[in-house]
Amino acid sequence: MSRGRLVVGNWKMNPATVADATALARTVGAMAHPGTEMGVAPAAIALTAVADALRGSDVSVYAQDVHWEVAGAYTGQLSVSMLRGRAAGSIVGHSEVRRDQGDDDARVARKLGRVLGAGLRAILCVGETEAQFAAEETAAVLKQQIDRDLSDVRGITADRFVVAYEPIWAIGTGRPATGAHASAAARTIRTALRVHGVPADAIRVLYGGSVSAASVAEFAGAAGIDGALVGGASLKSDEFAAIIKAFGG
């Protein structure tokens, strides 16, 4: 099964200003990326400016998070309707949102249902902690996350659903997983997806966690890995360009 490659930059709470985010978006929009689909996920406040800067380019914009309700008294949150005309979809279940906003799998499931129900694309993040990795519980953790996160959704299609395998211990540490570990995780994820009737062989699985120009070859060559969700290195245009090139190769 041939799946297209996808590289998305998750800018997290960076860069410092909307003007900086707009400038970075322009640089990314001008990058050559034969054979690789590209995306960026700016902070909420920069979504409109980045979407405007990338209009007409083939770089997709994603929100970093979205609320499960359609509207109401949810201070600080974004609804799916607010993404219209700005974003192709949203990251859902990133470990930093799970950590800082208290999202559990039940909330992630509701968010995933909301994003897909709105006709948007979801990039669902799953991954184990350092302690779970050390205890060799990665497969069990991934299976449980997929089972719980998909409990609310039906009719998932490959064009609107992507899974990012992001081992928490590899995020921002400069200590990426090995390609073999990422491949094993991708196999586990697809097996778990199949149980939910998802066309798993067509679903893209990205790797995220300290992907850089130096480490990307490990993942570009890993079986079952179709791209990357890139944090820190996506803020440096040379690094990001090298990562995109590696996956396009």
User: Which of the residues are catalytic?
Assistant: 94, 166
Which residue lies nearer to ligand 13P by CB, 188 or 212? 212
- Residue 204: strand, helix, or coil: strand
Report CA torsion sign: 186, 129, 121, 235.
negative
- Least distance to ligand 13P, CB of residue 174, Å: 8
Tell me: does residue 66 bind ligand 13P (CB under 6 A): no
113 close to 68: Cβ distance less than 8 angstroms: yes
Phi-psi label, residue 216: left if phi above 0, alpha if psi -120 to 50, beta otherwise:
alpha
Tell me: does residue 239 bind ligand 13P (CB under 6 A): no
188 close to 143: Cβ distance less than 8 angstroms: yes
Tell me: does residue 232 bind ligand 13P (CB under 6 A): yes
- Least distance to ligand 13P, CB of residue 158, Å: 21
- Least distance to ligand 13P, CB of residue 93, Å: 11
With CB under 6 A as the rule, give the number of residues binding ligand 13P: 14
Residues 6+ apart with CB under 8 A from 61: 39, 40, 41, 42, 47, 50, 51, 54, 86, 87, 88
- The rounded radius of gyration (Å) of the Cα atoms in the chain is 17
Which residue lies nearer to ligand 13P by CB, 184 or 230? 230
From 39, 208, 224, 227, residue interacting with ligand 13P (rule: CB under 6 A): 208
In single-letter form, the type of residue at position 6 comes to L
25 close to 42: Cβ distance less than 8 angstroms: yes
Which residue lies nearer to ligand 13P by CB, 81 or 178? 178
Tell me: does residue 177 bind ligand 13P (CB under 6 A): no
**DSSP one-letter code for 109:** H
From 124, 171, 189, 198, residue interacting with ligand 13P (rule: CB under 6 A): 171
- For tokens 């968010």, the residue is 111
From 153, 162, 182, 229, residue interacting with ligand 13P (rule: CB under 6 A): 229
108 close to 92: Cβ distance less than 8 angstroms: yes
What is the per-residue binding string for ligand 13P in 80-119, x denoting contact by CB under 6 A? --------------x-------------------------
Which residue lies nearer to ligand 13P by CB, 146 or 230? 230
Which residues form the interface with ligand 13P (CB under 6 A)? Answer: 10, 94, 166, 171-172, 208-211, 229-233
